[in-house]
Chain A
Amino acid sequence: MAATVETIEQVEQLGTEKYKYGFVTDIESEMAPKGLSEEVIRFISAKKEEPEWMLEWRLKAYEHFKTMEEPDWAKVEYTPIDLSDIYYYAAPKIKDRPNSLDEVDPELLRTYEKLGIPLKEQEVLAGVVAVDAVFDSVSVATTYRKKLAEYGVIFCSISEAIKEHPELVKKYLGSVVPYSDNYFATLNCAVFTDGSFVYIPKGVRCPMELSTYFRINAENTGQFERTLIIAEEGSYVSYLEGCTAPQRDENQLHAAVVELVAMKEAEIKYSTVQNWYPGDDTGAGGIYNFVTKRGACRGDSSKISWTQVETGSAVTWKYPSCILQGDNSVGEFYSVAITNNAQQADTGTKMIHIGKNTKSTIISKGISAGKADNTYRGLVKVLPGAEGARNYTQCDSLLIGDQCGAHTVPYIESRNPSARIEHEATTSKISEDQLFYCSQRGLSEEDAVSIIVNGFCKEVMKELPMEFAVEAQKLIGISLEGSVG
């Protein structure tokens, strides 16, 4: 129909001027020499004043990395990454880590203000959210630390944790994602620069949402952050990460590792709103987002829940997973992945059922517009001992226009006859009837698409912490602006 032709034209015309986080902060950086080598790793470790065991671990990972090859099984195509052309360490020049926000470079604070991240503690949503902000390779500020300390909660940068809580880091770092895990994770082990560390002691319900904001600023830098969250017996924490980057012509690499450990009856809720720069309409300049996220439900009746809203990046390669070791443990994965223009996303989850009566739920909503490709790739694996394991998977794809693609690749392996696994998948398009109905009620095309897509994603959006749900809803609207004519 004519309207479809218009839609397609509109999509083709869509530029990237809508990415409002594309500015660059003019701040002096201290960089490691370009490229990847043992010297660079030693440089990073020395800069961070790390203990010897940490350096050894990095070097061990690097040795292993040299034997590995970049994986090519994902349904994504991109120009190969030249690892020798990346700065692995870029830090805003500051003498020492600031003790309070007053000592943080005002230019940095302004950057976060522009991003809508209130670092000034009194502004932080009336005490609901504590924020750790990572700028290029270093963590610049962690708010509300004193208040959290009263509860025994440790929330700091991973670099500080390595120095101040080595026993915890040693025990858990690499225990969920080992240094030899996969190409990008191993690279991360060798060169990770900063990230967040969270420790919730036994029986404590973390009194506020914890949040990290990641920002890639410097040119040709990779961001290799490392996050480690440990929830002791009977504790609870809700954690949110958000990401943005300036608009550049060169693709930038982001290879993060996130490890979660939940002990007996502990619960970790991990939410991501990912809005890295997606590149222009050909995909040039966008972030390559190759991320390894995994949680271990170590204790009985523990629970890990991943919620992600992925709207940015040129290429996304990400499978937040749960290892359900403890009996009666629960893993959840709620995902909204939006791809527009030339964006590509290959994302999903792995649920590994080991303990008895373990339960997992996967709800994935993929939205594809422009010439984008969106793939759900997921594994549900039930081991012989996982008596009574249950999984429910629902994968819905929504297409806008006729040049985009949606793919669903579920892998199911069950080695226990008592397991119950359900998989449902649907593919639909935003119909012209729906658009006309909305516009006949006075909604603009953009509001119409936004409301229809938000309706489509509702089951996932309701899992987001209240404070961020509104922001995520708006982001969905912005990401799809101009996708329908």
Chain B
Amino acid sequence: MALLEIKNLHASLEEEDKEILKGIDLVIQPGEVHAIMGPNGSGKSTLSYVLAGRDGYEVTEGEVTFDGKDLLELEANERANEGVFLAFQYPVEIPGVPGMTFLREALNSKRKYHGEEELDAMQFLKLVREKAKALEMGDDMLKRAVNVGFSGGEKKRNEILQMAVLEPTLCVLDETDSGLDIDALKIVADGVNALRNENRGMLLITHYQRLLDYIQPDFVHVMAAGKIQRSGGKELALELEEKGYADFTGKAA
């Protein structure tokens, strides 16, 4: 069974009634890493929001099956608890809430959802410290309020840490490489690579090929004007790097 199956997905912004996704088809099998590349405004981020269940978007046609369930029927928090994780392009600040507290709430929400016992403070601390070490994040970073005063790189590492702790089955990474210098990019990429396994699917959304040097995808898709225009292997990314998106935006217009 496919992990994620998107069929003819159409979606628009509720308040503008403007169609952004115009028939997306995509299948991700367990263990596969897919990359979606495309120019700005092609609908890449919208796709990630629609998958995560953000308010304000309306699916007008099509279906999405995740792990055998109708994903579109679920609330955003239910999707998260079912195992869909979105690493944000711009992680959100929550003043006054320590990162640890936030992440523990999140993990315990998921455990409760699955009828498992909640972790106490000590058990949780042990788990997080272990995961944080690999991402070169110290206790001080975990104690600070969620994303408040974090540099771009710290915010992205924090997203990967949350991903590592929550252990989702589908990871959607929205422009995770944006705003990262080369060292930060390496740490983040190592963190993501460490999470690759045979049960977990990943969808990398990116504008540039650079990220794909560090996280090697199994498939690359080019998205423009709300549709997947072409699919291929990782060589497609290199081709795009060379030629740019002009071919696709031209075709779409």
The residues of A with any CB-CB pair to B shorter than 8 Å are 1-3, 6, 431-434, 436-445, 447, 451-452, 454-459
Contact = CB atoms under 8 A, between A and B. Distances in A.
Given A1-B56, A2-B15, A443-B105, A456 B95 contact: yes
A439 B76 contact: yes
B94 A443 contact: no
10 contacts: A3-B56, A436-B55, A439-B80, A440-B53, A441-B162, A442-B110, A443-B106, A447-B109, A452-B97, A459-B96
Contacts of B95: 455-456
Contact of A444 (B92, B93, B109): B109
Contacts of A436: 52, 54-55, 76, 92
Interface size classification for chain B: 20 to 34
Given A437-B88, A442-B113, A459-B96, 12 more contacts: A1-B15, A2-B55, A2-B56, A436-B54, A436-B55, A439-B80, A440-B53, A440-B77, A442-B106, A443-B77, A452-B94, A458-B97
A437 B147 CA distance: 12
Interface string B89-101: 0011111110001
Interface in B27-84: 52-56, 75-77, 80-81
A360 to B, nearest CB: 23
A431 B85 CA distance: 20
B145 interface: yes
A447 B94 contact: no
A442 B145 contact: no
B113 to A, nearest CB: 7
B94 to A, nearest CB: 6
A444 B113 CA distance: 11
Contacts of A445: 77
A97 B109 CA distance: 49
A357 to B, nearest CB: 31
Contacts of B55: 1-3, 6, 432, 436
Contacts of A440: 52-54, 76-77, 80, 85-86, 88
Contacts of A443: 77, 105-106, 109
Chain A contact residues: helix, strand, loop or mixed: helix
B152 to A, nearest CB: 16
A2 B75 CA distance: 15
Nearest to B110: A442
B14 interface: yes
B97 A437 contact: no
Contacts of B56: 1-3, 432
B101 A451 contact: yes
Contact of B106 (A432, A433, A441): A441
B102 interface: yes
Closest 5 CB pairs of A and B: A455-B96, A455-B97, A3-B55, A458-B96, A441-B106
A445 B92 CA distance: 16
A432, A451, A456 pick with most chain B CB within 10 angstroms: A451
Contact of B145 (A441, A447, A455): A455
B133 to A, nearest CB: 21
Contact of A441 (B14, B54, B75, B102): B102
Most buried by B among A1, A441, A451: A441
A316 to B, nearest CB: 23
A442 B94 contact: no
B142 interface: no
A432 B162 CA distance: 20
A459 B95 CA distance: 11
Contacts of B109: 441-444, 447
Interface hub of B81, B109, B113 (most chain A Cβ within 10 A): B109
B101 A441 contact: no
Contact of A437 (B75, B91, B103, B113): B91
Given A1-B55, A447-B105, A455-B96, A441 B15 contact: no
